[in-house]
Amino acid sequence: MVTQAETSPPLFVVVASDPEKLHFSYRRYVANQFRQTFGLEGVPVRVKYKERRWRG
């Protein structure tokens, strides 16, 4: 799940089951995909990763 938390500069929050295991190159890929998809070339895009909390 992804949400945009702030707009200037853009901050996207990505919820993942175990974000600590995400390789730095994948994190860079995700940020670059946000830039390309939303036309943010040249804009500093911040991406924060949060651990998914299971209910139960």
Query: What rounded mean pLDDT belongs to the chain?
Result: 94
Q: In the predicted model, is pLDDT for residue 37 greater than 90?
A: yes
Would you tell me which CATH number, out of the four given (2.40.50.140, 3.40.50.620, 3.40.50.300, 3.30.300.20), belongs to the domain 2-51?
Answer: 3.30.300.20
Q: In the predicted model, is pLDDT for residue 56 greater than 80?
A: no
d(CA 7, CA 40): 11
The domain segmentation of the chain, as residue ranges, is 2-51
Give the predicted TM-score (pTM) of the model: 0.85
**Predicted local confidence at residue 55, as pLDDT:** 78
Q: Once rounded to an integer, what is the mean pLDDT over residues 20-45? A: 96
